[in-house]
Amino acid sequence: MAKKQNIIDEAKEAIQKAAETVTDTVKDVLEDEKTQKIVKQVKKTAEKVADKVQDIVDAPETKEAADALKDAAGKVAEAVKAAVSGKTEKIITPKDAKIPEGPLAEKWTNYKAHQKLVNPANKRRLDVIVVGTGLAGASAAASLAEMGFNVLNFCIQDSPRRAHSIAAQGGINAAKNYQNDGDSVYRLFYDTIKGGDYRAREANVYRLAEVSNNIIDQCVAQGVPFARDYGGLLDNRSFGGAQVSRTFYAKGQTGQQLLLGAYSALSRQIGKGKVKMYSRYEMLDVVIIDGRARGIIARNLVTGRIERFFAHAVVVGTGGYGNTFFLSTNAMASNGSVAMQIYHKGAYFANPAYAQIHPTCIPVHGTFQSKLTLMSESLRNDGRIWVPKKLEDAKALQAGKLKGRDIPEEDRDYYLERRYPAFGNLVPRDVASRAAKERCDAGYGVNSTGLAVFLDFSDAIKRLGKDVVAAKYGNLFQMYEKIVDENPYENPMMIFPAIHYTMGGIWVDYELQTSIKGLFCIGEANFSDHGANRLGASALMQGLADGYFVLPYTIQNYLADQITVPRMSTDLKEFVDAEKAVEAKIEKLMGIQGKRSVDSIHRELGLVMWEFVGMGRTAEGLKTALTKIKEIKKEFWSNVYIPGSAEGLNVELEKALRLADFIEIGELMARDALNREESCGGHFREEYQTPEGEALRQDDKFSYVSCWKYMGEDQEPELIKEPLDYEFVQRQTRNYKA
């Protein structure tokens, strides 16, 4: 008997130990090999226990104890299972993301107080490559050069001033509280987190709100002509998703003025020789030496020559990947190729599915269309969005028998004001876009394709007078009239949602460093601040925050350890190999000599993306998209035709190289959207909505950043999660109704 008791005790103890080990293992599954080893040990122990149980199970007096043991063994088995599946679930912890300790409001201050710096004499010895000259790239290149680093700056256009940041119209947010309407850093932080549907990193967003005020000061000092009141002080306007007026603006050309500010700072450094500017150059790969980014391979777009460039660190600010959809508000040459290049080299791609569909764009008008034009969100300050209440009116509008102004007030459905009384026409972009789609799907569209709603200024003109409306929005009205050939002062504008911005992008830690050492990513190209939806006037804020006030600090923490690294020769094997791979890819593309133009295949991809990975997504649709994208990829790599040769200027070759990457991004977007079984912000899965058609998050399952790690050609990428544990903000269902 005593022997039996001993066995039972022993077994109990073993099980206890096994369970503890398993629990610990689940918590700590980062190291693959370690996990495997522990799991094996646990299994062995469990087997031993089972054997011992078998020994005693026949004796009737021990039946009860044996049953208890069996139960416990079952639990162990389950725990083992969990541990094994946990092995495939890699986690990025706040520590991995280098989020500083301390209360939210002190994190950035603490970071700056304790980070490493590079002394002025050493800065001269360090080279930094900055790719891109938009708000993020130009401001970073200028700031780094001012500090003393040698900067090599690249852009694909003929001049750094052309970057697509220039097209941003509405404005830039900052928590100045100049209007005395209760704004604060915390409120801007909170609005951004909420607007992003609780899918952004708290520490990054708080820092963004913190530095927002410095940006406005900086831009004014540079001579950016922001709008002013008669007293000579700065004016503000309101934007979607906020109840305060915190948006600074320069007519409808804020992006242009901010970019020209950054461009002038950059030009000053080019003039001084601190920045070497390479325009009409396109980056084609990053060069990694001993696990660190040490340079890039770029193509001179005029001569066609492939060239190698060394630097101690590489900064990527190449914008978003909205052009995956072919039709978007992005510029024609905007692309996601650099993101794909570094993804292929090991940088994680985070939240690819989060794409913003902007509610106020000029509707598609024909099959020859090359891009979509945005009408600034600021128009929603004074414009009212509506469709007819009666289906027969909508039909008459679609047939061209009626004009918007012919429909009497009582027959208009101001659906945003009806559904969201508190925010009305100023709900966030994702909400406004879906509401427009809902009305058009129900048959109330107002143009010949049935895919448009009205944005009406007649009330504003009555209230403020035509002159005031013209002063505020004149250039936008002119732009509309030139494109659509209709006067928006007399007849309401027609608008429809279109792809505009991508919140997803390359994963970065708090220092804006990617998962590759020495490789940084800034602006729209990274994923960090907007969660699942970006608020209006926040893109300019983030681009300039990263470039002026964040990266120039954080990159020093990295470069401080690099001061002893001499400039490397670009004849090193890594450079040679990277260049060879690029040349091989170009040769392969030029050699296909198929029948289809690059654009025709890109259009096809765009239609698949818009239909299945656009505003409303379903599991079935996303699976269809994945199949179709695979077919398009095959078609592209077997049937594309690129005229001319790889030497010299060849626009079709440039487009083909970009399309090859768009196809892969499309696939990644669909994959991520399929994985994320919830609706949040710009990502709307039709299976997950409230009875009223609002987005339904699944916080218990999907409160994480999806980071995709490339595993090789035709291999499924690995999903790594960065859990978003909100320390300072209470997660709520977004409510713009009351």
CA 105, CA 207: separation in Å to the nearest integer?
8
Selected from 107, 123, 125, 164, the binder of another protein by CB under 8 A is 164
Site string for another protein, 208-247 (x = CB under 8 A): ------x-xxxxxxxx-xxxxxxxxxx-------------
Selected from 161, 237, 299, 437, the binder of another protein by CB under 8 A is 161
Comparing CA positions, the residue from 531, 571, 572, 568 lying closest to residue 697 is 531
Comparing CA positions, the residue from 371, 290, 317 lying closest to residue 130 is 317
CA 641, CA 630: separation in Å to the nearest integer?
19
Could you tell me which stretch among 379-387, 421-429, 647-655, 714-722 binds another protein (CB under 8 A)? Answer: 647-655
264 binding another protein? (CB under 8 A): yes
Selected from 21, 153, 236, 267, the binder of another protein by CB under 8 A is 267
Selected from 562, 597, 624, 698, the binder of another protein by CB under 8 A is 597
152 binding another protein? (CB under 8 A): no
Q: Give the number of other Cβ atoms within 10 Å of residue 61's Cβ.
A: 10
Of the pair 161, 434, the CB lying nearest another protein is at: 161
Q: Please, are residues 215 and 538 in contact by the beta-carbon 8 Å criterion?
A: no
Residue 601 CB, nearest approach to another protein (Å): 12
Backbone angles phi, psi at 286, to 5 degrees: -100, 145
Residue 459 CB, nearest approach to another protein (Å): 26
Residue 534 CB, nearest approach to another protein (Å): 19
666 binding another protein? (CB under 8 A): no
Which residues are tagged catalytic?
429
- Judged by DSSP in three states, 392 sits in helix
CA 610, CA 361: separation in Å to the nearest integer?
15
619-639 helix and 598-612 helix, angle to the nearest 10 degrees = 170
Q: Give the number of other Cβ atoms within 10 Å of residue 209's Cβ.
A: 26
Selected from 6, 93, 487, 600, the binder of another protein by CB under 8 A is 600
DSSP string, 183-233: --HHHHHHHHHHHTTT-S-HHHHHHHHHHHHHHHHHHHHHT----B-TTSS
649 binding another protein? (CB under 8 A): yes
599 binding another protein? (CB under 8 A): yes
Selected from 30, 59, 105, 302, the binder of another protein by CB under 8 A is 302
Residue 667 CB, nearest approach to another protein (Å): 26
Region 532-571 residues binding another protein, contact defined as CB under 8 A:
548-549, 552
Region 365-384 residues binding another protein, contact defined as CB under 8 A:
365-366, 368-371, 373-374
Residue 263 CB, nearest approach to another protein (Å): 7
Residue 349 CB, nearest approach to another protein (Å): 25
Q: Give the number of other Cβ atoms within 10 Å of residue 221's Cβ.
A: 9
Of the pair 145, 516, the CB lying nearest another protein is at: 145
Residue 25 CB, nearest approach to another protein (Å): 48
256 binding another protein? (CB under 8 A): yes
Tokens 């916080």 belong to residue = 699
Region 339-368 residues binding another protein, contact defined as CB under 8 A:
365-366, 368
CA 348, CA 339: separation in Å to the nearest integer?
9
146 binding another protein? (CB under 8 A): yes
Of the pair 232, 566, the CB lying nearest another protein is at: 232
Torsion of CA 7, 9, 11, 16, to 10 degrees: -170
CA 499, CA 501: separation in Å to the nearest integer?
6
